[in-house]
Structure 1
């Protein structure tokens, strides 16, 4: 059975994602689709709109066959480690033949050429990147400029008009770098993102809109039905069910009180120990708390924002503080050591067959519950679930322990 892997968040799953699933099967000739999906907290440092089991059901009903969890240690990281963790999960299954990701251009060749040149992490590139970051450029811009400068000096300029700083190009490059660094035989493919940009907040098409624009629409209209033209019927049904149960939509403001409690009780030295708190941001946090016009996450982000620090960087920092993730837990050396288990969130009939194959091919244990192991990153995921449950309208004690008690979703 030829199998393609995709990396997803589905926040929420929309018609553009449905197109990606369908095209991934088509262009790779795959019989089955394995999705590596972020859990409750996402790459831009945000909580998911709905919990990971609801979004797993969206994935399975839209055509995915097996959904695996990307641990929170990787899911809320910059592109390098987000991509590395996701590809490491796919590689560890032993059953994935191809990886298909969306990009702004749909062109694989330029990204692959750059990835082969950068796979060994040349020292000159690291030096240029460090200098640009110190000059105050946000990481995405700094990385793009450092790569362009490095390649230009080597006489290998990036193709004219090919923008490496576009978010899906950046992620795509890091997927390819991860494949090379892991020595993977998984074959990469890319499809062009159609009609809506990754961060586009406006809706310009009758059927396709970005997840960002849909979350904005939902916050403005406050009714799930507003999303109907842009999402599959199954997504709408699941979101309506979760909203009726008081489990969605979850936003950053759902965590304002626990976040502010941790910030107010922490001294500068305490804050400095958390992951993503860099370059004296612990002092800026404490100063900002004294001048907030109101106690909200949005007000805090506005107070912290500068040209140097993107909103995404600050959200990731606040998330790591909220979750209590320390620098030593998420050190590059630890992240680079790879995954220790594969967590199954859900599967269909073909997914069941893949799981049977994975019993023989997987490089690490394949588990369906947090009760099956005691790995440090699995504990972080269970703790993230417990925290996420506090955002529900009427959280029950059982909600906090669902990583131990809830079986995978079956469709």
Structure 2
């Protein structure tokens, strides 16, 4: 059996994701599609709208065969570390191809850029550091470096292009026997906040519509599969809320206000004296967005600050980040009958242990951070619901469709 891998967040699963899934099957001819999906917190430093289990149900209902979890230590990271973690997990499951969405849509551009970058990496990194010292933000410094090395044909200011470049670079750098493919993003851009197409919308616009009121579900119905709508409705009826940064802000404020600067410096992402700006701003910030607005500068972008705040919320330290060099296990979240057949086919040849019961991971440092992230994610619920949600994190068996 041939497997194709996709790297997803499904926050939430929408019609654009369905198109990507169908095109992946069509272009790769794969017998099985495996999705590696971020867990409770996402790449840009945000809580997932609904739990990993709810998003797994969306994925399986849409036709994904296997869903595995990208651990926190790789999920809430800049593109390179995020990509390396996801690609190595798909490699461990013997995926023959990886298919990603991009604004560019031409895999040759990604391959050429990755090969050129790897040849000139040291010089590129040196130039970026010089540009940072002159006061440019990292995205600006990186863009300038790309122009200097003649790589500007691939626009890395576009978020899906940047991630796609990181996936291809990871495949080449690790010399993996994986064929990369890309599908051009259609109809909407990653950061679009409004609807401009009758059936395709960005996840950003869907979340913005739902923000503060799950009752707006009918407004996004044309842009999501029926199964996604059903899962979102069931989740809000069961748990009474969707997850967004503002509901976590009281917990973040408590963490920052009660921590000494020296404690904050131990947290991943806290660099260059940002702990002082956070301590100063938190005293007068009454919302999460107000805090970020007060701290944000050219050097400290919104996304970088969101990730740092997520690490503070979950107490993810630099030491833990440095220890997590590569995934150490494959956590299975869900599968179809076809997915089960594929796992039976490859189970003797997996490159990492396949885990369905997390009790086996109690001594794994990467999973220990996962437990902290789960506790932070459940913190917004009142008791006894909070305890129930945490029990689900540890006791839920892989979902089978």
How far apart in 1 are the matches of 2:182 and 2:176?
Answer: 17
Indicate yes or no: 2:389 matched with 1:396. Answer: no
Q: What does residue range 378-393 of structure 1 map to in structure 2 within 5 Å?
A: 378-392=367-381
The runs of 5 or more residues in structure 1 that have no matched partner are none
- Correspondences of 1:350-369 after superposition (within 5 Å): 350-369=338-357
Change in 2 beyond 3 A, CA 1:254/1:121 = farther
Supply the distance in 2 between the matched residues of 1:247 and 1:263 (Cα, whole angstroms).
Answer: 27
Measured in 1, the distance between the counterparts of 2:247 and 2:213 equals: 18
Separation of aligned partners in 2, 1:221 and 1:140: 33
Once residues 121 and 79 of structure 1 are traced to their aligned partners in structure 2, the CA distance between those partners, rounded to angstroms, is: 19
1:292-311 CA-partner distances (Å, limit 9, x unpaired): 3x2x2122112112232211
Deviation at 1:69, TM superposition (A): 0.3
Query: How far does residue 247 in structure 1 lie from its aligned partner after superposition?
Result: 5.3
Q: Distance in 1 between matches of 2:300 and 2:80?
A: 18
Of residues 169, 174, 177, the one that matches 2:169 is: 177
- Following superposition of structure 1 onto structure 2, how do residues 195-234 of structure 1 map, counting pairs within 5 Å? 195-219=187-211, 222-223=214-215, 224-234=217-227
TM-score, with normalisation over the residues of structure 1? Answer: 0.93
* Distance in 1 between residues matched to 2:152 and 2:250, nearest whole Å: 46
**Cα pair 1:387 1:400 within 8 Å, conserved:** no
- Taking the aligned partners of 1:91 and 1:315, their CA distance within structure 2 comes to 29
| SS, match of residue 245 in structure 1 | helix
> Is 2:300 the counterpart of 1:309?
yes
2:82 counterpart residue number: 82
1:248 to partner: Cα distance:
3.8
Question: How many angstroms apart in 1 are the aligned matches of 2:138 and 2:391?
Answer: 36
Unaligned runs of 5+ in 2: none
Q: How far is 1:243 from its partner?
A: 0.6
Question: May I ask how many residue pairs the two structures share in their alignment?
Answer: 398
Give 1:393 shift.
Answer: 5.7
Deviates more, 1:129-138 or 1:29-38: 129-138
Counterpart in the other structure of 2:365: 376
Query: Could you tell me which residue of structure 2 aligns to residue 67 of structure 1?
Result: 67
The Cα shift of 1:274 comes to 0.4
Shift of 1:195: 0.5
Aligned positions of 1:86-105 closer than 5 A: 86-94=86-94, 96-105=95-104
Q: Give the aligned partner of residue 275 of structure 1.
A: 268
User: Which whole-Å CA distance do the structure 1 matches of 2:51 and 2:98 have between them?
Assistant: 25
1:275: Cα distance to partner?
0.4
Deviations 1:311-355 (A, max 9, x none): 111000000011001111112xx44x3111100010001110122
1:264 aligns with 2:257: yes
- Counterpart in the other structure of 1:110: 109
Once superposed, what is the RMSD of the aligned Cα atoms?
A: 1.5
Alignment partners' CA distance in 2, 1:362 and 1:158: 39
Q: Does 1:346 align with 2:334?
A: yes
- Between the aligned partners of 1:173 and 1:349, the Cα distance in structure 2 is 33
TM-aligned CA deviation for residue 383 of structure 1:
2.0
| Structure 1 CA distance for aligned equivalents of residues 152 and 379 of structure 2 | 47
8 Å contact from structure 1 (residues 39, 51) kept in 2: yes
1:250 to 243, 256, 259: 243
Query: Quick one: distance in 2 between partners of 1:248 and 1:129?
Result: 42
Query: What TM-score does the superposition give when structure 2 sets the normalisation length?
Result: 0.96
Partner SS for 2:37: strand
Contact 1:110 1:158 in 2 (8 A): no
Which position in structure 2 is the counterpart of 1:142? 141
